[in-house]
Every structure is written in C-alpha cells, then in structure tokens.
Amino acid sequence: MPFSHVASDYNADQLAKLTDAFNKAWPQVLLAKGASTPAQLEWLRKLLANHILDCASRGEFDPEKLSKMALRALVRPDTSSH
C-alpha cells in the first residue's frame, strides 16, 4: 500500500480515496516516465504518492482530482532545455 507510512493520519475512507487516486494515475506515470529498475519503480511510486498526499493535505480527497493533479505535477513537460 503506497500510503501505509501515513495510514494513522487518515481515516479508512480517506485512505481508500488516496489509494484509488494512486491506482488511477500509476499506469499513466509508468507510460510517461518509464522505469527500468526496481529502484526506479520504487522512486516513482513514492513520488506519485507524495504528490497525492500533498494535494490531500490541502483537503482534496476526490480520487479523480487527486489523480489528475498528481499527473500534472509528474508528467509536465521538461522546460529546462528551452
């Protein structure tokens, strides 16, 4: 469970919504970012979970919105090369 480290901070319904948001976003993160090692996969999982938790800390618990917000943060185009 990607949120086991914060499970005591949220009720069961909130955790279910966080997990739902993670499960909605995860396949798209893999497609956009890719990962070739277990360490890279774990890093991406933590990054996605942290983005979802950041949104939840501001009171958002709609899984669809959490998923979209996290995806925007993770999959935004790299503008550093422009």
Domain boundaries, the chain: 12-73
CA distances from 74 to 3, 16, 25, 26, 45 (A): 18, 21, 10, 11, 11
At 77 the pLDDT is: 58
CA distance 59 to 30: 26
Low-confidence ranges of the chain (pLDDT < 70): 77-82
List, in order, residues 6 or more apart from 75 with CB less than 8 Å away.
28, 29, 32, 33
What's the whole-model pTM score? 0.86
Give pLDDT, residue 81. 43
Q: How many residues does the chain have?
A: 82
